[in-house]
Chains A and B, each alone.
Chain A
Amino acid sequence: MRQTVSGIVAVILLSTLLVPAAGAKTPESFIQENVDRVLEIIDDTGWENAERADTLQRRLVQSLRDVFTFRQMTFRALGPYARQISDSQVKTIVPLFTRLLQNVYIERLTSNLSSSSDEYEIEKIKVERAETRGDGRYAKVYTVAYIIRGGEKSTAQLNYKLMQLKAGWRVYDVEIEDVSLVQNYRQQFSNILANNSFDYLIEELRKKLEEKQ
């Protein structure tokens, strides 16, 4: 009897561990579904209509929030400084850096992913492969963006780094042609914070966002 009940409990225990994993999306399917959704919004013909464009912009930002963990991206960009700043400073920098990252990503997707000034269109982004690390809690998904530029086809490498969070997979870094977005900002922030205060960095971020507007 004891063995039977222990066995049942053990099965329940295992089930709680295995069922969410079986039902969860793979990193590849998570990225493919979400980039398809983002490209669908970008391809929408309503961008020229001001009212519709507002709705599309909101949908686009919401889609990015569903894909990225901007909080973790901020911590990674801050590097060791992430642990030295106060909670209120975290509350200040996360929304600012989130807006900057959203601007970068949207602009990359909508106007210039490759290195040409000619108008172009991203035909599709195709997942090639993925690798996992950290007991499957981290994944890197390698994708290729197929671009049509002035009638000519070209490709660009676009890799997503993901981490498993409570809400599922979320992207914490993007590599565009080998250049990591987060690493690039980490070097900038690190250089600024080595010689200046945190408030100076916040001010610089604000200035950058005002320039954008």
Chain B
Amino acid sequence: MSAREGFLVEESARFFWFELLLLCFLTFLIASAPVIAGNGEGISDTSPGSRRIYSDPFSDEGNSTVARGGTTSIYDPLAPVNRVTFAVNDRVYMYVLKPAGEGYKTVTPRSVRQSVSNFFSNLTEPINLVNSLLQGRPSDAHNAFGRFVVNSTFGLGGLFDPAGEHLKQKEHSFDETFACWGISPGFYVVWPLMGSSSLRGTGGLVLESYADPLNYAEQETVITSWTLKTLDRSVRYIPEYEKMKKHSVDPYIALKSAYEAQSRCGSTR
């Protein structure tokens, strides 16, 4: 072997060991990446401030808004008035509807209350059907149609829910339909007694009131059904409302945020 050949072999061996060391170092670096880059809880990010990750790839607000720091929130120019209505509603819920609901619960057997609830729920199925169609959800429309037919006949006018075993109710409101059509909610509004809504949601409520057959009955029937429906809703929703208040630092915003989430297109209620 000539001196030049010897030099080349030596260089080659040196390069080989250098490459081996480099690969080992890379291996170590990649394997320990979460430990080095993370913060102990860590998805990689080395700058101290950015350890406080708050982006959410699943948020409907999109990475964009949340990551950039804003919170997409429904416009609320009536906030001062809304907060007053919210406070008044709160008193009415706590001091009128809650005791009334508890009285109703005491004097009415559970099975009767369940039938009342089923009856009003069944009357919303045509609305669910129409909105499912308007939102392009044939499967949900089929579901609403099936539930309405089965419960109205075998369920004795909706007093029982025999369809519920196989077909779970899927609620779809006009508010949600308008959202699916890309119509903005406009602004947030808190209505006396009815609570959270928006300009878009109010339009939906007006349409839904036209679709409610009980509104076309005689005045006495309308008053009776309204009273029963209010009692039914008080029993069902006031405990939930109380829990929400208990765990919120700002119940007004908490309720507004929940309204936004549930009136979004694709809401799974």
Contact = CB atoms under 8 A, between A and B. Distances in A.
B106 interface: no
Interface in A1-31: 1-2, 5-6, 9-10, 12-13, 16-17
B54 A80 contact: yes
Given A6-B19, A188-B249, 16 more contacts: A2-B16, A69-B41, A79-B54, A80-B70, A90-B52, A112-B240, A138-B57, A150-B114, A157-B269, A178-B267, A179-B257, A183-B59, A183-B261, A185-B249, A186-B66, A186-B71
A10 to B, nearest CB: 7
Interface stretch (B31-39, B134-142, B178-186, B216-224): B31-39
Interface string A196-213: 000001001100100110
Contacts of B193: none
The A interface, classified by DSSP as helix, strand, loop or mixed, is helix
B2 interface: no
Interface string B4-16: 0000000010001
Contacts of B84: none
Contacts of B253: 187-188, 191
Contacts of A208: 247-249
A179 B261 contact: yes
26 contacts: A6-B20, A12-B27, A69-B41, A78-B52, A79-B69, A82-B52, A83-B49, A107-B247, A112-B243, A117-B235, A117-B236, A138-B57, A138-B58, A157-B269, A164-B43, A166-B35, A166-B38, A166-B41, A166-B42, A183-B61, A183-B71, A184-B258, A184-B261, A186-B66, A190-B71, A191-B250
B30 A17 contact: yes
A147 to B, nearest CB: 12
Interface string A137-170: 1101000000000111111010001011111001
Contact of B247 (A10, A103, A118): A103
B254 A140 contact: no
A184 B258 CA distance: 7
Interface of B: 12, 16, 19-20, 23-24, 26-27, 30-31, 34-35, 38, 40-43, 49-50, 52-54, 56-59, 61, 66, 68-71, 73, 101, 105, 110, 114, 161, 164, 168, 235-240, 243, 246-250, 253-254, 256-258, 261-262, 264, 267-269
Contacts of A211: 246
Contact of B261 (A78, A180, A201): A180
A117 B238 contact: yes
B137 to A, nearest CB: 16
A134 B261 CA distance: 23
Interface residues of A, number: 73
Contact of B57 (A133, A150, A155, A178): A133
Contact of B249 (A133, A137, A192): A192
Contact of A192 (B105, B110, B250): B250
A116 interface: yes
Interface of A: 1-2, 5-6, 9-10, 12-13, 16-17, 69, 71-72, 75-76, 78-80, 82-83, 90, 100, 103-104, 107, 111-112, 115-118, 133-134, 137-138, 140, 150-155, 157, 161, 163-167, 170, 172-173, 177-180, 182-192, 201, 204-205, 208, 211-212
